[in-house]
Structure 1
Amino acid sequence: MTDLKSQPPENDVLRRLSFLDRFLPVWILAAMGAGLLLGRFVPGLQDVLDAVTIGPFSVPIALGLLLMMYPVLAKVRYDRLDSVTRDRRTMALSLVLNWVLGPALMFALAWLLLPDLPEYRTGLIIVGLARCIAMVIIWNDLACGDREAAAVLVALNSVFQLLMFGVLGWFYLELLPGWLGLGTTSVHFSFGEIALNVLIFLGLPLAAGYLTRRVGERTRGRDWYESRFLPRIGPVALYGLLFTIVLLFALQGDAITSQPLDVARIALPLLAYFAIMWAGSYALGRAAGLAYPRATTLAFTAAGNNFELAIAVAIGVFGVSSGQALAGVVGPLIEVPVLVALVYVSLALRRRWAARTTTG
């Protein structure tokens, strides 16, 4: 398990940040704004982006996510993954949080706060079923979480996504509402679509990161790889993140800006969801005795969602102009700034944790 004392203090981390890293919230907000403006005022942009797809997935967005995830996964020390897989406590907590509590919480919030808006409610439930396997990697890295644990937990989520997404979709959209007398929504999920999502957004960058480290260490050694090579490719992750955010918001800029009241209604349960999942998971990790890096990883992997899959499923099943698709698009609109803020909350908690460890 990663020892907190072996990690650099928060102040040292912040001092070493580049200009791009230090003002990350500013760049992210600017990217969101630029995307919204592009989607609203550039005619035909959405048609151009929609034309470049693999199945239901946008190639430009996939490219941005690959650029974002590859440098982080290249940093993972794959020879240490066994320390995570042997940690049954973390693995069990992650499975319960992601596949029991997370979907149940989103279901409850969607019905509680959107009882009169069935399309948006269904879209949010789909978001809750799509557990994060992509962008959470970079939030975890920025918060100085456990990279090896993040790699294992997102891989675990990908396996359960293949096995459980369709089952839980049937349970939360058809079976449980019927039992509760709430009305049902009949939905068919494509196993091939889910498998393609896992392959593109996790399989490719994971394979590239693993091969890069293996070849780099064999040919030049670990010291060169970590002190010379990784710093060169590190900024690519943030460029990929900003590029992806611009594209995501450009695709639905018109829908978001033309329906602000609907966006606000959808945002409320999402805000509650991210706050409850992150804080609850972090507190649970601490109560279970996890060190800061692993507790932080547990919190981010439980709070994040796979909006790429949620949007693709909503569009594929209900149509691009549906309320379900809009709810999926609002997901990253809320998730991105909230989880960026939680990165800074994590770093503040890290400083307090280190101070207590030192005085203790």
Structure 2
Amino acid sequence: MLPRLAVTKLWRFVSITAPAPTRLSALDRLLPVWILAAMGLGLLLAVFVPAVGDLLHLWTIGSISVPIAIGLLVMMYPVLAKVRYTDARAVASDKRLLVSSLLLNWLVGPALMFTLAWIFLPDLPEYRTGLIIVGLARCIAMVLIWNDLACGDREAAAFLVAVNSVFQVVAFGALGWFYLQVLPAWLGLPTTSAEFSIWAITASVLVFLGIPLLAGYLSRRIGEAQRGREWYEARFLPRVGPFALWGLLFTIVMLFALQGQQVIDHPGDVARIALPMLVYFAVMFLVGFLTGRLLRMTYERTTTLAFTAAGNNFELAIAVAIGTFGALSGQALAGIVGPLIEVPALIALVYVALWLKPRLFPERMPPADAPTPAAASALV
């Protein structure tokens, strides 16, 4: 039942208004296979065509990899073009969603990663520091894809991502100081000195959220003004929707081509870094999901809460680690392992969310909060 349900949901992600088709494309039907193939292709390029990785290392603007930025922008634009921004404003009135998201992202998430880093890597201070930095970088990019694949509330996701981006600029440096210096000193543990670049944080937010958010907003505003909402959602969105998945696959190939050699050269270290990350993704997702269920949110908003809590901004974590400690540091390797583990982990959690939906959110149970029109009509 799970694969069939997941395939149906993944198709609805690509075409939100059309009725269920009788035949799925190969991309939709075998999405997990294509993601694994993209990871494998990236590793093969890293091993047998190292010039690709060298070129990707050189093709940067500041600390931002241009090919990865292109892939993320292509991936995020269709998702943000689907958001009904007039409905997204109503999400701000959902105090339970906003407060629980802020608590999970900025209190529970960093504290959990700090704890896991010290439990699993007590003898490896560089990797431990890199892991803590990953925990501080809250997701503002790929979470939109995972949320849409799991049929979450995209208006709520857009709002929470925007809120996280503001907190990221303001709070990242302070939290880094607290978790690397203040808290370890209180606990009698070794401290780490680090200065974070506000420019790297701001640039990450502006590029990976600001550009696609502006493009998506203008697309809907102009498209609906000139051709109407029916044309925009029935004709325009199905045409641009598949680019989200193509952008995702391209980004995965680029990530593994860029960083795959590091993974191959340090398999033991990668395994030690990967284990606490897997625990982190699973725990944050389940805590977010159960929190939404206990607060009697709809499935759509519960899923959004869970994925925005579980994801991390890997581009920011890598940029900060490299800028602060150097490209060959253990901190940088920990940041690099982040997306390589996050991609398969969160695509697996998409299936977990779809499996949990009929079990924890039976249709006969009336939600305590009335869903927004977008949440009630999305993906049908």
Normalized against structure 2, the TM-score is what?
0.90
Aligned residues, how many?
Answer: 352
Asked if the contact 1:10–1:350 (Cα under 8 Å) also holds between the matched residues in 2, the reply is no
Structure 1 residues 12-21 or 130-139, which shifts more? Answer: 12-21
Using the TM superposition, give the Cα deviation of residue 356 of structure 1 relative to its aligned residue in structure 2, in angstroms: 5.2
Q: Does 1:146 align with 2:150?
A: no
| Residue in structure 2 matched with residue 216 of structure 1 by the alignment | 223
Identity %: 67
| Residue in structure 2 matched with residue 31 of structure 1 by the alignment | 38
Distance 2:266 2:311 in 1: 25
Root-mean-square deviation over aligned CA pairs: 1.6
Q: Does 1:290 align with 2:297?
A: yes
Which of 54, 67, 84 is the aligned partner of 1:77? 84
Deviations 1:100-141 (A, max 9, x none): 000000000000010011111011000000000000000000
Asked if the contact 1:162–1:195 (Cα under 8 Å) also holds between the matched residues in 2, the reply is yes
| Residue in structure 1 matched with residue 232 of structure 2 by the alignment | 225
For 2:344, the aligned partner's letter is P
For 1:137, the aligned partner's letter is L
Using the TM superposition, give the Cα deviation of residue 355 of structure 1 relative to its aligned residue in structure 2, in angstroms: 3.7
Structure 1 residues 43-52 or 252-261, which shifts more? Answer: 43-52
Using the TM superposition, give the Cα deviation of residue 321 of structure 1 relative to its aligned residue in structure 2, in angstroms: 1.3
Q: Does 1:129 align with 2:136?
A: yes
For 2:46, the aligned partner's letter is G
Asked if the contact 1:65–1:241 (Cα under 8 Å) also holds between the matched residues in 2, the reply is yes
For 1:60, the aligned partner's letter is P
Structure 1 residues 325-334 or 304-313, which shifts more? Answer: 325-334
Using the TM superposition, give the Cα deviation of residue 43 of structure 1 relative to its aligned residue in structure 2, in angstroms: 3.0
Using the TM superposition, give the Cα deviation of residue 345 of structure 1 relative to its aligned residue in structure 2, in angstroms: 1.1
Deviations 1:311-332 (A, max 9, x none): 1111111111111111111111
Structure 1 residues 15-24 or 189-198, which shifts more? Answer: 15-24
Asked if the contact 2:7–2:29 (Cα under 8 Å) also holds between the matched residues in 1, the reply is no
Distance 1:126 1:39 in 2: 25
Asked if the contact 2:56–2:67 (Cα under 8 Å) also holds between the matched residues in 1, the reply is yes
Distance 1:174 1:41 in 2: 42
Normalized against structure 1, the TM-score is what?
0.95
Which of 166, 182, 185 is the aligned partner of 1:175? 182
| Residue in structure 2 matched with residue 63 of structure 1 by the alignment | 70
Distance 1:70 1:87 in 2: 25
Q: Which runs of 5+ in 2 are unaligned?
A: 12-19, 368-380
For 1:89, the aligned partner's letter is R
| Residue in structure 1 matched with residue 266 of structure 2 by the alignment | 259
| Residue in structure 1 matched with residue 104 of structure 2 by the alignment | 97
Which of 303, 306, 312 is the aligned partner of 2:319? 312
The correspondence of residues 100-119 of structure 1 with structure 2, limited to 5 A, is 100-119=107-126
Using the TM superposition, give the Cα deviation of residue 227 of structure 1 relative to its aligned residue in structure 2, in angstroms: 0.6
Asked if the contact 2:6–2:351 (Cα under 8 Å) also holds between the matched residues in 1, the reply is no
Asked if the contact 1:67–1:237 (Cα under 8 Å) also holds between the matched residues in 2, the reply is yes
For 2:178, the aligned partner's letter is F
Which of 200, 206, 209 is the aligned partner of 1:202? 209
Asked if the contact 2:7–2:28 (Cα under 8 Å) also holds between the matched residues in 1, the reply is no
Which of 44, 47, 54 is the aligned partner of 1:40? 47
Structure 1 residues 320-329 or 293-302, which shifts more? Answer: 320-329
Asked if the contact 1:139–1:300 (Cα under 8 Å) also holds between the matched residues in 2, the reply is yes
Deviations 1:148-176 (A, max 9, x none): 00000000000000000000000001111
Distance 2:115 2:273 in 1: 14
Distance 1:41 1:185 in 2: 37
Distance 1:12 1:178 in 2: 51
For 1:343, the aligned partner's letter is V
Q: 1:145 and 1:42, CA in 2 relative to 1: closer, same or farther beyond 3 A?
A: same
Deviations 1:53-105 (A, max 9, x none): 11111011100000000000000000101220010110000000000000000
Structure 1 residues 270-279 or 178-187, which shifts more? Answer: 178-187
For 2:149, the aligned partner's letter is L
Q: Secondary structure at the match of 1:286?
A: helix
Using the TM superposition, give the Cα deviation of residue 251 of structure 1 relative to its aligned residue in structure 2, in angstroms: 1.0
Using the TM superposition, give the Cα deviation of residue 10 of structure 1 relative to its aligned residue in structure 2, in angstroms: 6.8
Distance 1:241 1:11 in 2: 17
Q: Does 1:240 align with 2:222?
A: no
For 1:91, the aligned partner's letter is L
Any runs of at least 4 consecutive aligned residues in structure 1 with deviations exceeding 3 A, and if so which?
Answer: 9-18, 353-356
Q: 1:39 and 1:319, CA in 2 relative to 1: closer, same or farther beyond 3 A?
A: same
Q: Secondary structure at the match of 2:316?
A: helix
